[in-house]
Structure 1
């Protein structure tokens, strides 16, 4: 047996953290001396503490690690690894996009150009969209965490054997957009219904929409919103629901942010 101090050195973790793990039920001493309350660990527990360290390095929460350690089938680990891979890939791609924009802006400044692309032209179209079955998840979050929300929806698609039937969409429900506290819904068209306690399909209502195509980084998509809002006002329409972005071409295509393609939709009705 190892004392808590020895086990701390083996596991490269503080004794304070070992006591915290005990409280959470992650890893408990195999024996506690009733006279002096000294804690002891056995050799087979070394594997457990090293596994916990690895999972912490993978950025799993204590609650997630507990779920993984309690599941001897590794089903939970498989699901959470897949989700974490997607989220980290999203974060890496987001950082690459920002780096590209930084370099592009610097290059434009060195050439004496404006860092904003003012040469975009927008064609506004009006179409009647059909109802669409979507797997969706709505939450109020920081836009910096949108990748987590997207990851949860894709995880549900994969774990439930659904087939994707269209482009991913983001609906925006706030009248005044707050990037730190945004009420958004991630929707993915799928082939069949699903209802679980965590996530379910619903029908995204069709109807009359005006829309336009935006080509460029997401940070500049406000230009397309401006054009649509001006068009709605000039043509005696009104907005009757939540607008949404449909991602036609994005980071997954490995292209530069200047080549991203997003279709922006606003549901409208006559004034």
Structure 2
């Protein structure tokens, strides 16, 4: 280490070799040489005889700034630009970065919520042993995007309607959930062909209500509470069997419910070339006493 008796303000200045700076900054010598070549972080002096690089100890502060800006995800070119900012400009820039991080953090939280819901749904469908058996589940409030429909039965594939819901979610920067839902009136049906959805929906993770440009689309929620639930793989007459199982359970146990059936569909293969496979949950909210 080279020493100097010079003082910068109240700070005593020392000279450091590139090896010493590398150890103190936890950066490689190759990185420091590269920073020198691109004029990002240059030595204060280069010995003309042996070409050794020397840095002032006070320069380590600026190296810390470079490392912190890189940690924010900035490119080295952007770091160079930021280092030229005046203090008041740097405050504004860092505030903008803070807002960006907040937005990214919120996006990650929303993605985590979708993943948790999907995991729980898969556990319900695949891991539980009570498939095709009525059970009672406690459900939290679930935010949804819904679209009013008419003449769409449980046998239809409403690609147009779900496509519109998907567009609304994408326009709002939300994550599209692969759990699809519909709601219709609870009653005895002579045939499943007689069931027509009042609306279709999918879940959303946005807390605030967006500005919607579609009159038929609405942001709302499924209420919290206890629900009668039955789950099954969609094949043959499973839908009709499980729906009637649900109706029989209601009549046998004299349970007061909100007369709306929610059915939730989840595709169980992710390859378009495979035959469609769906797992389904039917649920009805129990009226609070």
Normalising by structure 1, what TM-score?
A: 0.47
Q: Larger Cα Rg: Structure 1 or Structure 2?
A: 2
